[in-house]
Amino acid sequence: MADIRFFQPSGPFELRYLAEQIGAEAPSAESGNILIRDVGALETAGQGDVSLFCDARYVGTFIESRASVVVTSHELGRHAPSGRCLLFAAEPRLAFARIGHLLYPEARLVPGIDAGAQVHPSAVIGHGSQIDAGAVIERDVSIGENCHIGYHAILGTGVVIGDNCRIGAHAAISNALIGRRVEISCSVTIGGQGFGFVTGPTGLVRVLQLGRVIIGDDVEIGANCAIDRGANGDTEIGAGTVIDNLVQIGHNVRLGRNCVLSGQAGIAGSTTLGDGVMVGGQAAISDHLTIGSGARVAGKSGVMRDVEPGGTVAGYPAVPVRQWHRQTAGLLRLFGRKTADNSGET
């Protein structure tokens, strides 16, 4: 059960209603009346809680769970003791996530502009949007409906934000066009100058950075990320792409749709990722590369060459993941001691 100081469930809801909302199979008439108040793990859930069983390894926990309802698949549901109330869904994890969002909807906005915010008269702010204290909305900014602009967030001249966006505290956004339902976390910097220089007689001279950052719908960007604007042309983040904390996106990078970039990953300038690319934590991708759609880049790897669509690479320099496994196993064989284990040796 969540700490009610931070999270208050909005229910209770009848199971029938939840099932209908998320597109799960309709429960029986009887169980449809069960009142659901909260979500919980199989071990800790009790009366009024809905839980999730989606991994056969936890069948024992499932059998002993005291949850009022368990979301699962027909396949896994076979293990249920008789009388157990189940909610069947083709994708149990997805169904459970959706129930969670029904029970814990986002905090309702308090529309209006806080007296401590600074909004330029030329800015347009859509109906239902909330602008917190310390926020700065500069000239010609356009903010859609039902947006939340957090404390001290800065939206620079001309920035466009679509409907239903959330901009975190201390974010600083300039030279950017942002779609709908975009969530940008705290202390994110978007639209800064790219890192491009030419050498002059007395030092480095910055190359003019005249591009923008274009962010598609449904993008999420984690805390303390930095996304530079394009130099010539734009930096682009495709719709549905999600980015974890402390990620660096260089100028003129183009990320496709539904990419997943984990924490502290870095994409150097002018590199293009297709759709659905997954990049592990602390992975780095060099500049001017093309990473094909559906490719996977292992955490911590350093990619220095293009990756084909659907390819999986790992290592530094990154190679196809099987090659990498052969290399790491081979090194262990070549230089290992018989007594070596994986961790205890010092």
Residues that bind a second copy (rule: CB under 8 A) add up to a total of 124
| Residue 193 per-residue DSSP state | P
**Cα gap 52→65, rounded to integer Å:** 10
For position 258 contacting a second copy by CB under 8 A, the verdict is yes
The region that residue 48 occupies, defined by phi over 0 for left and psi between -120 and 50 for alpha, beta otherwise, is left
Q: Which stretch binds a second copy (CB under 8 A): 13-21, 28-36, 55-63, 322-330?
A: 322-330
Confirm if 301 and 307 have CB atoms less than 8 A apart.
no
Q: How far is the CB of 149 from a second copy (least distance, A)?
A: 13
Amino acid, res. 251 = H
**Alpha-helix runs per DSSP H in 176-275:** none
For position 244 contacting a second copy by CB under 8 A, the verdict is yes
- 127 CB-contact burial (10 Å; exposed 0-12 / middle 13-18 / buried 19+): exposed
Choice between 83 and 181, CB closer to a second copy: 181
* Residues in contact with a second copy, shown as a per-residue x/- string from 64 to 93 under the rule CB under 8 A: ---------------------------x-x
Q: Which of residues 279-298 bind a second copy (CB under 8 A)?
A: 281-282, 284, 286, 292, 295-296
Choice between 28 and 110, CB closer to a second copy: 110
Q: How many CA atoms lie within 13 A of 256 on its CB side?
A: 17
Choice between 73 and 312, CB closer to a second copy: 312
Confirm if 84 and 51 have CB atoms less than 8 A apart.
no
Confirm if 112 and 130 have CB atoms less than 8 A apart.
yes
Q: Which of residues 156-215 bind a second copy (CB under 8 A)?
A: 157-158, 168-170, 172, 174-175, 185-187, 189, 192-193, 195, 197-200, 202-208, 210-212
| Catalytic annotation present for 288 | no
Q: Which stretch binds a second copy (CB under 8 A): 12-20, 57-65, 73-81, 326-334?
A: 326-334
Q: How far is the CB of 33 from a second copy (least distance, A)?
A: 24
**Cα gap 59→64, rounded to integer Å:** 9
Catalytic residue among 120, 251, 288, 325: 251
Active centre residues (catalytic): 251
